[in-house]
């Protein structure tokens, strides 16, 4: 994003604002959409792990997102992985391994 065209230098009224926008421009996020998608994926993975540890919670909604064959939705799991360059099948295999480990753990703990 070109901050120079968005905020004209004449609109900046003090040195603090000028310094802020110079920093934003210099340290700009080259790919904010990817940052957002990565945040969505991280949040989903953390919630999934947390729900695996709590057998009273349902995984249905999160599991549906991870395992849906949806490449059209902007924030579908497959779209997020495509944008981030991640292998969908590898992540799904890891999720299944987590589920298996959680099921084994809860079976051992219930005995």
One pLDDT digit (tens) per residue for the chain, 111 residues: 444 444 444 454 555 556 655 655 555 557 888 999 999 999 999 989 888 887 666 677 888 999 999 989 999 999 999 999 999 999 999 999 998 988 887 666 665
Cα–Cα distance between 27 and 8 in angstroms, integer?
19
Residue 17 and residue 57 in one domain: no
State how far Cα 69 lies from the chain centre: 18
The answer to whether the Cα torsion of 4, 7, 12, 16 is positive or negative is negative
Residue 51 and residue 25 in one domain: no
3-state secondary structure of 77: helix
Residue 23 and residue 38 in one domain: no
Residue 7 and residue 22 in one domain: yes
Residue 52 and residue 78 in one domain: yes
Of 38, 19, 36, 23, the closest CA to residue 85 belongs to 38
What's the pLDDT at 102? Answer: 85
- pTM: predicted TM-score of the whole model, two decimal places: 0.67
Residue 57 and residue 4 in one domain: no
Residue 61 and residue 84 in one domain: yes
Residue 75 and residue 36 in one domain: yes
Residue 84 and residue 38 in one domain: yes
Residue 15 and residue 40 in one domain: no
Residue 14 and residue 37 in one domain: no
Number of domains composing the chain: 2
The range of the structural domain enclosing residue 24 comes to 1-29
Residue 71 and residue 87 in one domain: yes
Cα–Cα distance between 66 and 76 in angstroms, integer?
8
């Amino acid at each position: 994003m070109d901050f120079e065209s968005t905020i004209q230098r004449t609109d900046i009224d003090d040195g603090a604002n000028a310094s802020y926008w110079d920093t934003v421009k210099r340290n700009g996020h080259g790919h904010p959409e990817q940052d957002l998608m990565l945040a969505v994926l991280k949040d989903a993975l953390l919630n999934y792990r947390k729900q695996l540890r709590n057998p009273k919670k349902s995984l249905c909604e999160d599991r549906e997102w991870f395992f849906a064959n949806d490449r059209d939705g902007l924030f579908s799991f497959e779209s997020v992985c495509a944008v981030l360059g991640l292998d969908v099948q590898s992540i799904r295999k890891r999720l299944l391994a987590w589920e298996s480990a959680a099921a084994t753990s809860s079976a051992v703990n219930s005995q």
